[in-house]
Amino acid sequence: MSNAGILVTGAAGFIGRGLLAALAGEAAPVIAFDLREVPAAERLPNVTYIAGDIRDAALTDHLLRHRPQCVVHLASVVAAGGDEQRDYEIDVKGTENVLRACLAAGVQHLVVTSSGAAYGYHPDNPVPLRESDTLRGNEDFAYARNKRLVEELLARWRTEHPELQQTVFRPCTVLGPGTANQITAMFRRPLVLGLTGTATPFSLIADSDVIAALLRAARGGPAGVFNLAGDGTLSLAQIAARLRKPYLALPPALLKAALWLLNLLGATRLGPQHVKFIQYRPVLDNAQLKSGFGYVPQLNAVAVFERYAKATGA
């Protein structure tokens, strides 16, 4: 097989499925790699499906067999508050295994979705955050810490193995018509809960814009590190108003105490350390995405949210 194909890890996920649909018509081979076995009825034509774990040494064998020119690495943990050791192994050790496999198979271009969480959730974060700002993923917040560790790993490999071109995206909150996660759960409650002392501005980007940026990168787009965010932000109070729901701002100390108790009782996987996820939202600058990468998001924060709300009936 010619060294011209594209392999996607995490291909059965929300963004992965959309990217595969866009790639299915490509002349180059497309390989979908995911932990889950995709049912035959859901498989796309002209796509080779492989069930496997990115942490497994067999990943190298698959890359050597198919010899893709580009690997789009989407496989990661998307929810906070899970098994921290497992999450670390998937995000950090899994990415390290992907890097080793790419090097062994002569992959030319690696595209990675990191996260704006790599900047960390801090009261003194610059607004907006630019790609040159320090990554400070919080040690007591495993999701943010792991994203920072992944980026530190990628940076070392850029220095030690420049032959493997890297395009790294740091997405903000991704919303599509069918998005259902810990963030959208906040929007679907009878009232929208926020915190006093912060507007909690959300940077938002449409799933369609994420897929379009990934496509550009996979087709030979420029290397570099790029924030992935639409223009503007929406605060939780503005989101509540658009949903025509009441907005209630709680003191951070009260929410921390409530999460501590609920976690102790086994009612939630979240703990007091997760309050910063709402309290100190990273606001991402997208100037480098536009000028350096050459992609302008089609939907701003308001349009992204309206599209989501209309589709879900929120």
Per-residue three-class SS string for 194-240 = EECCCCCEEEEEEHHHHHHHHHHHHCCCCCEEEEECCCCEEEHHHHH
Position 170 pLDDT exceeds 60: yes
Number of domains in the chain: 1
Domain CATH code at residue 276: 3.40.50.720
In the predicted model, is pLDDT for residue 3 greater than 60? no
pLDDT in tens, 59-110: 999 999 999 999 999 999 987 667 899 999 999 999 999 999 999 999 999 9
Question: Using one digit for the tens of pLDDT, what is the confidence trace for 199-239?
Answer: 899 999 999 999 999 999 999 999 999 999 999 999 999 99
Contacts of 158 (CB under 8 A, 6+ apart): 166
The yes-or-no verdict on residue 32 having pLDDT over 90 is yes
**Pairing between strand 224-228 and 165-171?**
parallel
Instruction: Kindly tell me if the per-residue pLDDT of 172 is higher than 60.
Output: yes
Instruction: Detail the DSSP E strand segments found in 114-200.
Output: 165-171, 173-175, 192-195
Span 289-300, pLDDT tens digits: 999 999 999 999
- Predicted TM-score (pTM) of the model is 0.94
| pLDDT, mean of residues 149-165 | 98
Q: Domain range holding 295?
A: 5-312
Q: What residues pair up with 8 in beta bridges, in sequence order? A: 32, 72
- The C-alpha atoms of residue 62 and residue 64 are separated, in whole angstroms, by 5
